[in-house]
Every structure is written in structure tokens, then in C-alpha cells.
């Protein structure tokens, strides 16, 4: 038995004697859902699954692990897409039971909740006091505030409200030595040196375990108008964006290709194409208004202007909440609808908004030249420059053979992203999936500084040790 495995065994037994029995398990049946993930790409294993019920619990666990140099991994809702929450031998700390809303304050427009609070529960708590927490992801029933902040999640409202980072005043976290950092403020100004909370946001659990967060709320719009538009090209979508963002009401601008619409309507029950005609591309957009009763006239005017300019072929203006939800469902099921087609090589990239059409054309041309008959499916948050660039296997091709081409396809796609001044990860993070690409493509000074920070805060590299680097 190696020295380190003896140390890890000691950590496991010390933790077991510290926590109430209900807070830990090594029962493999109970652990199953924590060790597999949405993409079916990673299968994990852990000596111990922990479900602490307080920040103090997390602190005590981490102190033991720090003493024994035993690696730990944090897991929230387990919806991450880059393998960052699936343990490979680390002790797994689930935040599932850290799920209390600690306080809400309408005057400060703030909400303090524990890290395992699901995004939808945080949204509901804000709604209960007449405000809104505007982060919005298709995974919101399951993903957690701790996971959202650690991955700096994006979603469909980034162009109006920013990413998760911008919606957070500060966090409470357990640092790699077990100390509790309290950054739960509602201050909109606080210039007192380095901002430790912001260092933890987007750090993917490598610098500390977030146990609670103080979130920024916004006023609830009085009226939302949702429209789906059918058009011919990504260039037309960009021209449309230039028109529909006038007036600062635009809160969502999502691109869907025909192939995506056909997968959703074919593979997801109760989904139907809202148009009679077939369009090459679709845009789904939301306008939000602070005063009720402005939306319909505004929408009619702007759409007329865009139609006169020949920018789109057809449009549907949702006339009630059900229709609005049905239109959004078409977008939200895009990822799930691709599962039945077999292997898919996925990218979550961002380029300057003005370069999104260039990216789509260049990437489509390059990947189809490399794998004839593969099925590129670019979709997502065109309004903020973030394209989910998925490539489906050619029909009838062996899935494993197709997936073996992933490294060379990644090089092709990421070279185009680099040439356009983009980033290889827009909102999902690096995890273990993209760390080779980060090493290869990141600015050298940035990478060196990131490693210096990691070593300073976590000298024994116990927190999510396999991620990022």
C-alpha cells in the first residue's frame, strides 16, 4: 500500500467519525447518479460521497483532507459539460444539502443562498419578493448556484444581464486549508484590495468550495415579447441583431439552424415546427419592457423595419404565455435532440459577435472537407457571440470511429476560433475536456499567473486537482 493511499484512508475514516452518518456514504448504489453525467462521457469513482449540511461541515472535511493531502472534488447539480464534477478517486463533496435561502432583501436587491440551491429555486425566491434573478439555463431545474458561479455560467440572457460572475456580489467559501472566507456582501462598491470572491468565480472549484453566495437581483420586466423569425443565413441574423437591439430591450437572441429544428421536432415528443414553410435558419428573441403595454407596438415597428429591409422571410410573435414557452422549448431541447443521431463532437466557442457568421461558414467548410457527410450544427447565443458548434457523425458511420476523429476536428475548429480572435470556452469552462487546448492556446503569462495563484492558495493541490492545468 502506498504512503498516499494510507493517508487517504486515514482522511476517509477521520471524516466518517466526524460527520453524522446521514452525511456520508460509500454505498455504490447510492453513489451511481453522482458518478455518471449528462453527456455519458465520463464515469467516475470515489472512496466516499459526502453530503455536508453546513459550511462548518465543509470546513472540517477540508481541514482533514488538507492535513492528509487528500484530494477532494465539489459537485453541485452534476450538469457540467466538461468533466469537472466527475471524481476519479477524489473524495466527492456534494452540495446537495446546502440548499437554504438564507435571506432576501428587496431594498438591496440581493439574495443570499447556499451553494446547493438550484438555479430555479433561487429564481423563485427572487420572484417571491417581486424581483428577478436573470441567469437562465436549460439545466436550471438541476444546476446549482455554486456550480453556476464556479463555471461562470452564461445562458440565454447574457447579452442583457451578463454571465453568472456579473450577477454575484460575493461568496462564502471554504479555502484549501479549510478556512472559511466570508465575502457575503451586498455592497455595490468595495475597493479594499484583491477581490477574493471574483477569483473564485469561474475557478471551477480549484481554489475553494463555494458554500453560499450573495446574488444580485434585478427589476422584473413588466412585459416580455417573444418572437421567432425564419431567415436565410447567419449574415441575415446579424443584420437582424443590429435592428432589434435598438432601444436596449433585447434580452435574448438565439440562433437555430434548420437541422436543429428538424432534430427537435423529430426526436422530442410534442414539439412541432411553428412555421408552415421551411427556413434555413431561425432566430428566437425576447424583448423586455419596464412599462407594460409598450411591447406589441415596438415589436410590430421593428419587425416591419427588418422585413422592409429584406432581412427575414417570416416571423411569429408569441400571442400568449403558452406559445412563448413552446417557442423557447424548441431552443432548449436542441442539445437533447442530438442524442439519437449517434456521436457528436461538441464545441462551446465564442468569437466577436461580428465574426459569428464568418466562424460558422469557415468551420462548416473545414469540417465537411475533413469528414464528408458529417453534420455540423451551429446553434446558440449568437447575440453574445457564443456558438455551440456540434458536429454529428455521418449517417451509418461507426460511432467510435467518428469520435476517434475528435482531436483533429478540435484542432480545425479551434484554429478558426483563434484566427477570429475568439475563445475555446465561452461558458462551459475547461474542466478536463479542454485542458490540453488551454495549455496549447492560452496566453503564456496568463497561464503562468494562474498556476502561481493555484500554488499559493492550494500548495498541495487538493481541490479539483485534475482540472484546468
Ligand X SMILES: Cc1cc2nc3c(=O)[nH]c(=O)nc-3n(C[C@H](O)[C@H](O)[C@H](O)COP(=O)(O)OP(=O)(O)OC[C@H]3O[C@@H](n4cnc5c(N)ncnc54)[C@H](O)[C@@H]3O)c2cc1C
- Closest to 100 measured CA to CA, from 55, 70, 35, 153: 55
Residues 288-347 touching ligand X, rule: CB under 6 A, are 335
Number of H helices and E strands in the chain, helices first, is: 17, 19
377: which strand partners?
A: 390
Q: Which is nearer to ligand X, 349 or 467 (CB)?
A: 467
Q: Does 433 bind ligand X (CB under 6 A)?
A: no
Size of the site for ligand X (CB under 6 A): 36
Q: Does 95 bind ligand X (CB under 6 A)?
A: yes
Contacts of residue 445, Cβ cutoff 8 Å, sequence gap at least 6: none
Q: Does 153 bind ligand X (CB under 6 A)?
A: yes
Give φ, ψ of 391 to 5 degrees.
-125, 115
Q: Give, for 386, the enclosing helix (H) or strand (E).
A: strand 386-392
- Closest to 274 measured CA to CA, from 327, 227, 232, 234: 327
| Stretch binding ligand X (CB under 6 A), from 5-13, 103-111, 133-141, 320-328 | 133-141
Q: Which is nearer to ligand X, 362 or 386 (CB)?
A: 386
Task: Give the Cα separation of 218 and 190 in Å (integer).
Answer: 20
Binder to ligand X among 44, 87, 205, 392 (CB under 6 A)?
A: 205
Secondary structure class of 435 (helix, strand, coil): helix
Query: Three cell numbers at 149?
Result: 458561479
136: which strand partners?
A: 155
Binder to ligand X among 261, 324, 464, 466 (CB under 6 A)?
A: 464
Residues 101-130 touching ligand X, rule: CB under 6 A, are 115
Give φ, ψ of 116 to 5 degrees.
-85, 5
CA distances from 234 to 96, 156, 241, 356 (A): 41, 18, 10, 8
Q: Which is nearer to ligand X, 60 or 335 (CB)?
A: 335
Binder to ligand X among 167, 210, 225, 374 (CB under 6 A)?
A: 210
Q: Does 159 bind ligand X (CB under 6 A)?
A: no
CA 41 centroid distance within chain: 17
Q: Does 76 bind ligand X (CB under 6 A)?
A: yes
Q: Does 390 bind ligand X (CB under 6 A)?
A: no
Binder to ligand X among 110, 151, 338, 364 (CB under 6 A)?
A: 151
Residues 28-47 touching ligand X, rule: CB under 6 A, are 38
Q: To the nearest whole angstrom, how small is the minimum distance from the Cβ of residue 231 to ligand X?
A: 22
DSSP type of residue 150: H
Q: Does 225 bind ligand X (CB under 6 A)?
A: no
Residue numbers at the binding site for ligand X (CB under 6 A): 38, 73-81, 84-85, 95, 115, 137-139, 143-144, 146-148, 150-151, 153-155, 204-205, 209-210, 335, 427-428, 464, 467
Amino acid at each position: 500500500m502506498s504512503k498516499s493511499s494510507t493517508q487517504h484512508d486515514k482522511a476517509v475514516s477521520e471524516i466518517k467519525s466526524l460527520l453524522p452518518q446521514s452525511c456520508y456514504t460509500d454505498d455504490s448504489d447510492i453513489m451511481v447518479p453522482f458518478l455518471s453525467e449528462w453527456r455519458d462521457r465520463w464515469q467516475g469513482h470515489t472512496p466516499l460521497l459526502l453530503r455536508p449540511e453546513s459550511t462548518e461541515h465543509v470546513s472540517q472535511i477540508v481541514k482533514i483532507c488538507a492535513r492528509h493531502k487528500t484530494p477532494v472534488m465539489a459537485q453541485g447539480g452534476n450538469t457540467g459539460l466538461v468533466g469537472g464534477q466527475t471524481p476519479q478517486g477524489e473524495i466527492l463533496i456534494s452540495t446537495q444539502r446546502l440548499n437554504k435561502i438564507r435571506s432576501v432583501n428587496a431594498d438591496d436587491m440581493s439574495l443570499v443562498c447556499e451553494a446547493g440551491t438550484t438555479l430555479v429555486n433561487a429564481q423563485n425566491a427572487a420572484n417571491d419578493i417581486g424581483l428577478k434573478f436573470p441567469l437562465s439555463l436549460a439545466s436550471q431545474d438541476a444546476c446549482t448556484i455554486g456550480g453556476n458561479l464556479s463555471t461562470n455560467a452564461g445562458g440565454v440572457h447574457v447579452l442583457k444581464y451578463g454571465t453568472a460572475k456579473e450577477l454575484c456580489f460575493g461568496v462564502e467559501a471554504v479555502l484549501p486549508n479549510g478556512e472559511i472566507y466570508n465575502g457575503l456582501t451586498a455592497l455595490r462598491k468595495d475597493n479594499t484590495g484583491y477581490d477574493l470572491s471574483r477569483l473564485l468565480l469561474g475557478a471551477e472549484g480549484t481554489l475553494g468550495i463555494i458554500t453560499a453566495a450573495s446574488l444580485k437581483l434585478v427589476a422584473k420586466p413588466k412585459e416580455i415579447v417573444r418572437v421567432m423569425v425564419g431567415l436565410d443565413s447567419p449574415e441575415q441574423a446579424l443584420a437582424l441583431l443590429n435592428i432589434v437591439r435598438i432601444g436596449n430591450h433585447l434580452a435574448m437572441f438565439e440562433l437555430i439552424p434548420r437541422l436543429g429544428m428538424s432534430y427537435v421536432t423529430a426526436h422530442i415528443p410534442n414539439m412541432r415546427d411553428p412555421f408552415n414553410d421551411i427556413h434555413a435558419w431561425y432566430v428566437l428573441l425576447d424583448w423586455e419592457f419596464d412599462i407594460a403595454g409598450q411591447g406589441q407596438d415596438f415589436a410590430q415597428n421593428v419587425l416591419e423595419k427588418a422585413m422592409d429591409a429584406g432581412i427575414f422571410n417570416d416571423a411569429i410573435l408569441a400571442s400568449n404565455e403558452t406559445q412563448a414557452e413552446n417557442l423557447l422549448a424548441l431552443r432548449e431541447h436542441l442539445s437533447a435532440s442530438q442524442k439519437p443521431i449517434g456521436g457528436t463532437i461538441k464545441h462551446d466557442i465564442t468569437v466577436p459577435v461580428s465574426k459569428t457568421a464568418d466562424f460558422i461558414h469557415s468551420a462548416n467548410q473545414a469540417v465537411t472537407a475533413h469528414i464528408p457527410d458529417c453534420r455540423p450544427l451551429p446553434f446558440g447565443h449568437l447575440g453574445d457571440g457564443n456558438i455551440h458548434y456540434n458536429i454529428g457523425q455521418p449517417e451509418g458511420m461507426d460511432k467510435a470511429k467518428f469520435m476517434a476523429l475528435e482531436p483533429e476536428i478540435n484542432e480545425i475548429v479551434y484554429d478558426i476560433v483563434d484566427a477570429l480572435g475568439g475563445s475555446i470556452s465561452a461558458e462551459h469552462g475547461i474542466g478536463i475536456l479542454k485542458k490540453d487546448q488551454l495549455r496549447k492556446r492560452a496566453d503564456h503569462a496568463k497561464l503562468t499567473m494562474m498556476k502561481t495563484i493555484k500554488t499559493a492558495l492550494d500548495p498541495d493541490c487538493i481541490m479539483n486537482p485534475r482540472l484546468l492545468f
